[in-house]
Chains A and B, each alone.
Chain A
Amino acid sequence: MDPTLLVLASLADGDKHGYAMMDDIAAFAGVRLGPGTLYGAITRLEERGWIRGLESDDRRRPYRLTAEGRRYLQEELGALQQFVKVGLKRLRPA
């Protein structure tokens, strides 16, 4: 699955820093992202304005989903839902 979607889905639940995102994604998607993959996704998402980094007192910077990011995630998940629905329907025995 696309790491950017996983990060967006993780942040939909609330602000998280890198390590918390990795744990959360492993728990809900069963995928353990590496640090390079995770920060590649974070970089792309922040450039597109779909997430933003928050100020933090320690070196673990939390990230937050923006309104544009939420809208994009909804669109993508809607398309996926439709895909899953059709796929499952076709798999059902006649």
Chain B
Amino acid sequence: MRWLIHLAVRGYPRRWRERYGSEFHTLIDDLPPAWPVLFDVLRGGVSMRMRTSNLTLMAASFGVAGAMVGGIGALAAPAEFESRGRMVAIPVGDGVDVDGALMAALDRAVEPEFAAGTGVRRKIAVVRTPQSNALQVSSLDPDPRRAQQVTEALMTRVIQVHAQESVGRTAGLQLRIVERPNLPASPTRPYLVWLIGAGFGGGAILGGVIGFVRRRRAAK
């Protein structure tokens, strides 16, 4: 136990140890080794580090710690598989409002999923590729086969809904599947980058605030 307390002194800043290290180690030798002593030394080391470090260093240290926590949290979360497919919307006739027709078809097709509360759970996404009439449809699920089935069903439903609404019209959109949804082989960690980034940002802000407050207190 005593060696552990002596080891904890290494957590103090080097300059502090040069000044107080010898007498601090002697004091530790004079005390009976105990857990409260170890925790007090550890706490003192963190406190001293925070006092002597500059704001940038503190923000960076807390940011890195936050990023690590975020990364571990994302990796600890259950794995999910993403299945993607691609559709294309071809305008037929003159004066076709591609965006309007697409939005209407998507709304109707996706609506039942969200009404049943499964849309959010299955994490459905439809992204239109800019400057083209291509649509990327995807869904996330812990089961890769189910992710593929959900994406497939969604694409089919968009086409069916649009076909029902276009009956009797001369102009409109023709929707076609150009790439069937894949069966994902490896899981994706959709929140890994986001959580690492959020952890770093949150940690950096926290570190900066703590450093600022402590500096103000020390100055008083």
Q: Chain A residues in contact with chain B, CB under 8 A?
A: 17-19, 22, 34-40, 42-44, 58-61
Picked from A22, A35, A37, A58, the residue with its CB within 8 Å of the CB of B24 is: A35
Picked from B16, B40, B47, the residue with its CB within 8 Å of the CB of A35 is: B40
Q: Give chain B residues whose Cβ lies under 8 Å from the Cβ of A58.
A: 26
Q: Give chain A residues whose Cβ lies under 8 Å from the Cβ of B16.
A: 43
Q: A34-B44, A37-B44, A43-B48 are in contact. Are A59 and B37 (CB under 8 A)?
A: no
- Determine whether the beta carbon of A36 is less than 8 Å from that of B40: yes
Q: How many residues of chain B get a CB closer than 8 Å to chain A's CBs?
A: 23
Q: Give A46 Cβ to nearest chain B Cβ, in Å.
A: 9
Q: Is B185 an interface residue (CB 8 A)?
A: no
Q: Give A56 Cβ to nearest chain B Cβ, in Å.
A: 8
Picked from B22, B45, B218, the residue with its CB within 8 Å of the CB of A36 is: B45
**Smallest Cβ-Cβ distance to B46: which chain A residue:** A36
**Smallest Cβ-Cβ distance to B42: which chain A residue:** A36
- Determine whether the beta carbon of A34 is less than 8 Å from that of B36: yes
- Determine whether the beta carbon of B44 is less than 8 Å from that of A36: yes
Question: CA A17 – CA B30 in complex, angstroms?
Answer: 12
- Determine whether the beta carbon of B26 is less than 8 Å from that of A35: no
Q: Give chain A residues whose Cβ lies under 8 Å from the Cβ of B45.
A: 36
Q: At the interface, is chain B mostly helix, strand, loop or mixed?
A: helix
The B37-53 residues at the A interface (CB cut-off 8 A) are 37, 39-45, 47-48
Q: Give B220 Cβ to nearest chain A Cβ, in Å.
A: 10
- Determine whether the beta carbon of B47 is less than 8 Å from that of A19: no
Residue-wise, chain B 1-38 has the 8 Å CB interface mask toward A (1 for contact) of 00000000000000010001011111110110000110
- Determine whether the beta carbon of A43 is less than 8 Å from that of B27: no
Q: Chain B residues in contact with chain A, CB under 8 A?
A: 16, 20, 22-28, 30-31, 36-37, 39-45, 47-48, 218
Known: A36-B45, A59-B23, A61-B23. 11 other contacts (CB 8 A): A34-B43, A35-B27, A35-B28, A35-B31, A35-B37, A35-B41, A35-B44, A36-B47, A37-B44, A43-B48, A59-B26
Question: CA A10 – CA B48 in complex, angstroms?
Answer: 23
Q: Give chain B residues whose Cβ lies under 8 Å from the Cβ of A35.
A: 24, 27-28, 31, 37, 40-41, 44
Q: Give A2 Cβ to nearest chain B Cβ, in Å.
A: 12
Q: Give B13 Cβ to nearest chain A Cβ, in Å.
A: 10
Question: CA A19 – CA B32 in complex, angstroms?
Answer: 12
**Smallest Cβ-Cβ distance to A38: which chain B residue:** B27
Question: CA A40 – CA B30 in complex, angstroms?
Answer: 18
Question: CA A92 – CA B218 in complex, angstroms?
Answer: 38
Q: Give chain B residues whose Cβ lies under 8 Å from the Cβ of A17.
A: 23
Q: A34-B40, A35-B40 are in contact. Are A40 and B27 (CB under 8 A)?
A: no
Picked from A37, A39, A60, the residue with its CB within 8 Å of the CB of B20 is: A39
Q: Give chain B residues whose Cβ lies under 8 Å from the Cβ of A37.
A: 40, 43-44
Question: CA A63 – CA B124 in complex, angstroms?
Answer: 69
